[in-house]
Amino acid sequence: MFAENPIRFKKIDYLELNPKAKENYNFHQMAAILSNYGYN
């Protein structure tokens, strides 16, 4: 009935990211933490 999802996620190594990707990663980490406390 449902097709198997071909998308596979893997953890990334933070140290291998370029500065812009690190900034983006940090922003989304903080957004996730704040959303746990009701901020949006």
Q: What is the pLDDT of residues 14-23, one digit of tens each?
A: 999 999 999 9
Cα–Cα distance measured from residue 32 to residue 29, given in angstroms and rounded to the nearest whole number:
5
Q: What are phi and psi of 33, to 5 degrees?
A: -65, -45
Q: What is the pLDDT of residues 28-40, one digit of tens each?
A: 999 999 999 998 7
pLDDT bin (cut points 50, 70, 90) of residue 2 is low
Is pLDDT at 3 greater than 80 in this prediction? Answer: no
Question: Average pLDDT, stretch 3-28?
Answer: 92
Alpha carbon 36 to its chain centroid, in Å, reads 15
Amino acid identity at 23: E
- What six digits make up the tokens of 35? 């959303």
